[in-house]
């Protein structure tokens, strides 16, 4: 994943030049711009890290889903063998019938372990999906913050070019740039909770439950 980097523009070089030649406001603006650029680099790093986390969680979710599907196929195979053994019990008698009855019981016990493992894998896949959605949501918030940082730098330079040294306006641009990250964690938690509820609802209608019900019948 690409991580953001800062390219110095011509206006920034001009700003530094003016700051070195006694322009007090330009000096303060240069310091503010440097601080914002530093914050922007941090936000960019966090954005890249959360995006990588989201991809890793998505990959893990896909793996767990495949493993769960394999287990449910194995469960189905055991169910078929159990059904054939139970049918053989009704068609035979004596020792042969007892042998098939024992096999049917063994298949039934094996199915319980397979079902438990398949459900655990499904749950792990759903959890990974929730974490992936949460990480991607947080990534978007960091990306938005980085965009606002760049907007703040541009607005600050525009004020200087227009000859406006209104400290309150300059402060406002800084506040706009840093206000979004404050809500990143809260926004991510709310989003992950909604995803978890949606995952639970989807799980109730998942093919695994339909398969389990059909095998039980």
Please choose, from the candidates 6, 26, 29, the residue with its C-alpha nearest in 3D space to the C-alpha of residue 17: 26
Residue 2 maps to a domain: no
Residue 55 maps to a domain: yes
The predicted pLDDT at position 170 comes to 54
Residue-wise pLDDT for 80-103, tens only, equals: 999 999 999 888 888 888 999 999
Residue 107 maps to a domain: yes
Residue 153 maps to a domain: yes
pTM of the model: 0.61
For residue 217, pLDDT over 50 is answered with: no
Task: Give the chain's domain count.
Answer: 1
Residues of the domain holding 113 = 20-216
For residue 17, pLDDT over 90 is answered with: no
Residue-wise pLDDT for 101-134, tens only, equals: 999 999 999 999 999 999 999 999 999 999 999 9
Residue 196 maps to a domain: yes
Residue 145 maps to a domain: yes
The predicted pLDDT at position 145 comes to 86
The predicted pLDDT at position 82 comes to 92
Residue 7 maps to a domain: no
Which letter, b or e, does each residue of 172-207 get, where b requires 16 or more Cβ atoms within 10 Å of its Cβ? ebbeebbebbeebeebbeebbeebbeebeeeeeeee
Residue 12 maps to a domain: no
Give CA separation, 89 vs 39, 82, 216, 217, in Å. Answer: 74, 11, 18, 18
Contact 137, 191 (CB under 8 A): yes
């Amino acid at each position: 994943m690409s991580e953001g980097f800062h390219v110095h523009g011509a206006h920034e070089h001009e700003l530094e030049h003016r700051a070195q030649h006694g322009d007090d406001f330009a000096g303060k603006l240069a310091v503010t711009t440097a601080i914002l650029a530093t914050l922007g680099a941090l936000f960019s790093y966090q954005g890249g890290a959360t995006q990588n986390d989201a991809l890793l969680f998505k990959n893990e979710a896909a793996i767990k889903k495949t493993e769960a599907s394999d287990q449910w196929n194995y469960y189905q195979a055991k169910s078929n063998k159990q059904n054939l053994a139970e049918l053989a019990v009704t068609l035979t008698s004596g020792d042969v019938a007892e042998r098939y009855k024992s096999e049917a019981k063994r298949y039934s016990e094996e199915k319980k372990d397979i079902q438990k493992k398949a459900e655990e894998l499904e749950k792990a896949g759903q959890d990974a999906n929730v974490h992936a959605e949460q990480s991607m949501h947080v990534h978007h918030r960091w990306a938005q913050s980085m965009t606002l940082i760049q907007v703040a730098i541009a607005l600050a330079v525009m004020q200087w070019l227009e000859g406006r040294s209104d400290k309150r306006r300059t402060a406002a641009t800084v506040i706009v740039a840093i206000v979004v990250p404050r809500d990143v964690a809260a926004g991510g938690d709310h989003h992950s909770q909604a995803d978890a509820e949606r995952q639970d609802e989807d799980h109730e209608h998942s093919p695994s439950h339909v398969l389990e019900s059909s095998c039980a019948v």
